[in-house]
Structure 1
């Protein structure tokens, strides 16, 4: 009965959002329980989702540009291909999140938890990563030269992020950080995460390493 009530509540919130979104430029879903919600390709631009429960939600391909996700819980959510340009993700819990091909340009990720997140081919231009937790995150084929406030200590934490073919800001090289230090481990990670053969994963890594950042 509790599960039915939870689902019904989630449906009500989504229907209410859709009605609100037709009449206003933004909607308020702050604190909403949308855990496990299917929001593929949803238009949530500018929406207030601060403190929302989005654990295991599927937001792939959604438009969350300029959305307020501060303090939101997005553990293991699917944000692949999601537009998060200019989004506020301060203190958001993005642990284990799939951000593959997501656009995080100009996003505020200050104090965000990105531990074990998948940042494969993620756009990070002008994103603020001040004090963000990158422990165990997958940073593969990423240009982070224009990232704001990415400190060397974030890349040298006890549980280091995995780096392969990453363009690092010049200040992140002190102390020296090898942007390809984990390329030999990436194929196994890709194989496990994307359920592909190790051979296919190795081919993806080999192809990616042919790219030279300007």
Structure 2
């Protein structure tokens, strides 16, 4: 079961084929053109030494040469990549403006919403697991109870967004703007938070498990001491925490119960309002905790 909780290596889904095609197509065409020039020059040199009949035969062979066929293929490939680029550009344009949209409980798993405008959108309980939301605008969006596990949220704008009880485990939140965001009771397990701006974000009751908070921006002591306080376990805290005597493992004894608690157990200090998305036993949860505690922060 530990594989479910391994440190998440952020992966960014992109259209690699299109990028490679965009680079390879002009190179291929240039090569074809260069070979054709060399071929034509060679034919010109040979033409001076050929008879009239031989010239006619050679001209016919030239028209059927593999160079000409390769040129046709290269042109076709170039056209295909142009069409694919237009198709994806058109699709992105269609989903770009979703501001204020009602996407309540929508299934958007693994969708590409990069740079999309979702400001003020209702994404309550939406499934956005594995989605690409890089550079998306989610200001004032309602993501209460949404599943964002494994999503790419780097450089995403969550200013004033409601992420109450949302699942943010394994997400890439590097550089995300979380100012004034409501992260109360959110599951922020094994997320990447380097450069994330947490100014005035509400972390009350949030699960902060196996996180490096040393490189986040504007995280203040009161946010980690809010009531109900966030659950801290195996967290690399900012330097100021040493002066405040904050224990980065103060709630590790509760982690097994939090990870294995059934859905019906909510609203208490031991279970919080965290959603049960793990489907593991108490024994498995304890094994996960033991494995995580072996990790040493640099």
Determine if the TM-score, normalized by the shorter chain, exceeds 0.5: yes
Map of 2:180 onto structure 1: 111
Map of 1:140 onto structure 2: 209
| CA RMSD of superposed structures (Å) | 1.6
- Matches of 1:41 and 1:201, distance apart in 2: 27
Moved more, 153-162 or 186-195: 186-195
Map of 2:169 onto structure 1: 100
- Aligned to 2:195, the other structure's residue is in SS state coil
Map of 1:198 onto structure 2: 282
Q: 1:23 to 1:212 in 2, by over 3 A?
A: closer
- Aligned to 2:289, the other structure's residue is in SS state helix
Query: Is contact 1:71–1:91 with CA below 8 Å preserved after alignment?
Result: yes
Mapping of 1:1-214 within 5 angstroms?
21-22=90-91, 24=93, 27-192=96-261, 193=276, 194-214=278-298
Q: 1:34 to 1:20 in 2, by over 3 A?
A: farther
The CA deviation string for residues 73-128 of structure 1, in whole angstroms up to 9 with x for no partner, is 00000000000000000000000000010011000000000000000101100000
Query: Is contact 1:100–1:120 with CA below 8 Å preserved after alignment?
Result: yes
Query: Is contact 2:205–2:227 with CA below 8 Å preserved after alignment?
Result: no
Deviation at 1:130, TM superposition (A): 0.3
- Aligned to 1:109, the other structure's residue is in SS state coil
5+ residue gaps, structure 1, are: 1-17
Ranges of 4+ aligned residues in structure 1 off by more than 3 Å: 18-21, 23-26
The CA deviation string for residues 30-85 of structure 1, in whole angstroms up to 9 with x for no partner, is 00000010000000000000000000000000000000000000000000000000
State the structure with more CA Rg.
Answer: 2
- TM norm structure 1: 0.89
- Matches of 1:26 and 1:88, distance apart in 2: 17
Moved more, 169-178 or 189-198: 169-178
- Higher helix proportion: 2
- Aligned to 1:184, the other structure's residue is in SS state helix
- TM norm structure 2: 0.64
